């Protein structure tokens, strides 16, 4: 049997080029080799207040983008997290099995606390419980592999810890301990305006990121105005040339070549020529993606999601029943 992979993305804003290269592209590349489960993490999105109409629209947008990127429903089980109740059921088990110190050490939680204190905003408890829900998302399906970006590595380590803890409590291997999968390149795409920090859809400066559904001309302009340096040599050097290194990573990832090959290709190019070539590659990619996205109709999308929900729910329901039985929960 094929090994299984599981992963998901929050519908909390416009999906960026960084989300695609760092995460979603891996889903597409791995679906031929693995039994693939990919979901829309809508429950994670509500750790901060959401407009219900916008959240539902973004959920559908994300599904359509998954399909436009190349996820094949015949190879990948595609579903919405909230439509499989076992995610929340197992999340409670892991909430009770995790320690406050573990949750408070999570970088995402600490960053949120810091930002909210600066803005004098309340800190919702959902952000503290995010990791147990993520652990449930993964461990319900017993995957051997979990594709993650750099920012989720800490959460996956906690997932492994919780799985081992429950296995120890029950004296049985209830959960498979998953391994991390990271792409050889592109795991972390950086801001176009501040290339020492990650590209983010929540950035206050819209020039810093490329949303996958941005107008093509806008995206091209953002690439051409990306921050670089004054050396005028196209060379991969993250420490000294973060802007150029980031553009090389984007180019190589979209062209499916090694960064070293991309660097060699542009070794005699000016920065203007280099940026024009990167912008053209981004333009070609986004044009094809957006054409496929707009060609999808809601009947097709809903049929795919119905099939995915049924398959995911069958596996997840069986798993949570097994976990409850081993923990002594319910009547058996």
Write out the DSSP string of 31-54: TTTSEEEEEE-HHHHTTS---HHH
pLDDT at 149 over 70: no
pLDDT at 152 over 80: no
pLDDT at 247 over 90: yes
* pLDDT confidence of residue 124: 87
pLDDT at 19 over 70: yes
Measured CA distances, 281 to 26, 220, 233, 285 (Å): 19, 9, 20, 6
Gap between the terminal Cα atoms of the chain: 31
* pLDDT confidence of residue 119: 84
* pLDDT confidence of residue 183: 80
Contacts of residue 229, Cβ cutoff 8 Å, sequence gap at least 6: 240, 241, 243, 244
Contacts of residue 22, Cβ cutoff 8 Å, sequence gap at least 6: 149, 150, 183, 186, 187, 188, 189
Q: Cα(332)–Cα(329) distance, rounded to whole angstroms?
A: 8
- Name the CA dihedral angle for 172, 176, 177, 178, rounded to a multiple of 10 degrees: 180
Q: Cα(190)–Cα(143) distance, rounded to whole angstroms?
A: 29
| Residue 7 binned pLDDT confidence (cut-offs 50, 70, 90) | very high
**Range with the lowest mean pLDDT among 52-56, 114-118, 217-221, 240-244?**
114-118
The stretches of 119-179 forming alpha helices (DSSP H) are: 130-139, 153-170
* pLDDT confidence of residue 292: 97
Share of the chain above pLDDT 90, in %: 80
**Tens digit of each residue's pLDDT (9 = 90 or more) over 169-192:** 888 899 999 998 888 888 889 999
Mean pLDDT rounded to a whole number for the chain: 93
SS3 of residue 8 by DSSP: strand
Q: Say how many C-beta atoms besides its own lie within 10 A of residue 122's C-beta.
A: 6
Q: Point out the residues that are catalytic.
A: 115, 198, 201
Q: Find out whether 270 and 280 touch, Cβ atoms under 8 Å.
A: no
**Range with the lowest mean pLDDT among 96-110, 113-127, 207-221?**
113-127
């Amino acid at each position: 049997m094929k090994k299984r992979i599981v992963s998901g993305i929050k519908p909390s804003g416009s999906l960026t080029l960084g989300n695609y290269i760092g995460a979603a592209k891996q889903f597409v590349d791995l679906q031929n080799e693995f039994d693939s489960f990919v979901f829309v993490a809508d429950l994670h999105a509500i750790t901060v207040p959401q407009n219900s109409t916008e959240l539902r629209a973004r959920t559908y947008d994300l599904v359509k983008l998954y399909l436009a990127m190349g996820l094949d429903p015949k190879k990948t089980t595609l579903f919405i997290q909230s439509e499989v109740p076992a995610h929340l059921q197992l999340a409670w088990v892991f909430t009770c099995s995790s320690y406050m110190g573990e949750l408070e050490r999570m970088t995402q939680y600490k960053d949120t606390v810091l930002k909210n204190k600066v803005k004098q905003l309340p800190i919702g408890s959902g952000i503290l419980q995010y990791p147990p829900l993520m652990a449930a998302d993964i461990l319900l399906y017993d995957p051997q592999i979990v594709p993650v970006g750099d920012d989720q590595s800490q959460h996956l380590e906690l997932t492994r810890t919780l799985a081992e803890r429950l296995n120890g409590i029950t004296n049985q291997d209830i959960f498979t301990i998953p391994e991390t999968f990271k792409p050889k390149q592109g795991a972390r795409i950086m801001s176009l305006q501040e290339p020492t920090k990650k590209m983010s859809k929540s950035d206050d400066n819209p020039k810093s990121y490329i949303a996958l559904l941005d107008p093509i001309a806008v995206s091209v302009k953002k690439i051409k105005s990306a921050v670089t340096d004054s050396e005028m040599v196209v060379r991969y050097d993250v420490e000294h040339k973060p802007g150029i290194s980031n553009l090389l990573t984007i180019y190589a990832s979209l062209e499916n070549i090694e960064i070293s090959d991309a660097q060699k290709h542009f070794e005699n190019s000016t920065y203007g020529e280099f940026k024009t070539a990167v912008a053209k590659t981004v333009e070609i990619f986004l044009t094809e993606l957006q054409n496929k996205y707009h060609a999808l109709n809601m009947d097709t999308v809903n049929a795919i999601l119905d099939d995915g929900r049924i398959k995911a729910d069958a596996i997840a329901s069986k798993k949570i029943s097994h976990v409850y039985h081993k923990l002594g929960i319910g009547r058996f």
